[in-house]
Amino acid sequence: MIVSPSLLSANFADLKGEMDWFNRSTADWLHLDIMDGVFVPNISFGFPVLKHVAKLCKKPLDVHLMIVQPEKFVQEVKELGAYIMNVHYEACTHLHRVIGQIHEAGMKAGVTLNPATPVSVLQDIIKDVDLVLLMGVNPGFGGQKFIPHTTEKVKELRKLIDETGSKALIEIDGGVNQETGKLLKEAGADVLVAGNYIFKAPNPSDACALLSAL
């Protein structure tokens, strides 16, 4: 399983220490949650902080923008050195154009769906995206309880991807732990994001390895 630990649950007073164990762990990507207090009811961190994290991080950056008009920040995300830029379906009036802009900037493009947004809205864009990020909770906060219906959405999305010949990966974000992770893997998930389960564990590196082994 590809694992993308979410920095949102890290100890912000010791980001260097967090990056030390992270770089030596089985983690594949680093998930970065950018919030604006408008699209979601919370504010996390922005580019001035992430610039320093990016320098310390030796693994690909998986950037999740929970902001309105994410197309305004394609250049900033690119300058961060991001591998993938995820934008919310609900935040983009012209999603097809935004996906094109992300690709033109040389990054992989991901589209994210909130829990109340059905997989069917992806029908006409699924072949253009590299990844679909399904929210397992309402975005904005770490440590929330997993919404069980998400596993059904993973199955539906797997079917859509297989039927259309899309190469998109399926990533899940929110409420992931060893138990929900196993269900998500069985449903067809390729990538798991985990914040609290990894960063709040007695041994984050071990928790990460357990998800990697799923």
Q: Which sequence positions are flagged as catalytic?
A: 33, 173
Please name the residue that has the structure tokens 């253009």: 128
Q: Which amino acid is at 111?
A: V
* Structure tokens belonging to residue 203: 């041994």
Q: How far is the CB of 110 from ligand DX5 (least distance, A)?
A: 12
33 lies in the binding site for Zn ion (CB under 5 A):
yes
Residue 131 forms beta bridges with which residues?
Answer: 110, 169
The site for ligand DX5 (CB under 6 A) is made up of 6, 8-9, 31, 33, 64, 137, 139-144, 173-176, 193-197
Of these, 64, 88, 108, 153, which contacts Zn ion (CB under 5 A)? 64
* Structure tokens belonging to residue 116: 């109340």
Enumerate residues 6+ apart whose C-beta is below 8 A from 177. 146, 194, 197
**Burial zone of 208 (CB within 10 Å; 0-12 exposed, 13-18 middle, 19+ buried):** buried
The nearer residue to ligand DX5, 99 or 194, going by C-beta atoms, is 194
The nearer residue to ligand DX5, 12 or 159, going by C-beta atoms, is 12
62 lies in the binding site for Zn ion (CB under 5 A):
no
Of these, 146, 173, 204, 211, which contacts Zn ion (CB under 5 A)? 173
Q: How far is the CB of 124 from ligand DX5 (least distance, A)?
A: 25
Q: How far is the CB of 8 from ligand DX5 (least distance, A)?
A: 4
The nearer residue to Zn ion, 33 or 130, going by C-beta atoms, is 33
Residues 98, 116 contacting (CB under 8 angstroms): no
Residues 135, 174 contacting (CB under 8 angstroms): yes
108-113 vs 2-5, strand pairing mode: unpaired
Enumerate residues 6+ apart whose C-beta is below 8 A from 19. 53, 56, 57
| Partner from Zn ion, ligand DX5, none binding residue 62, C-beta < 5-8 Å depending on class | none
Q: How far is the CB of 9 from ligand DX5 (least distance, A)?
A: 5
The nearer residue to ligand DX5, 74 or 140, going by C-beta atoms, is 140
* Residues contributing to the site for Zn ion (CB under 5 A): 33, 64, 173
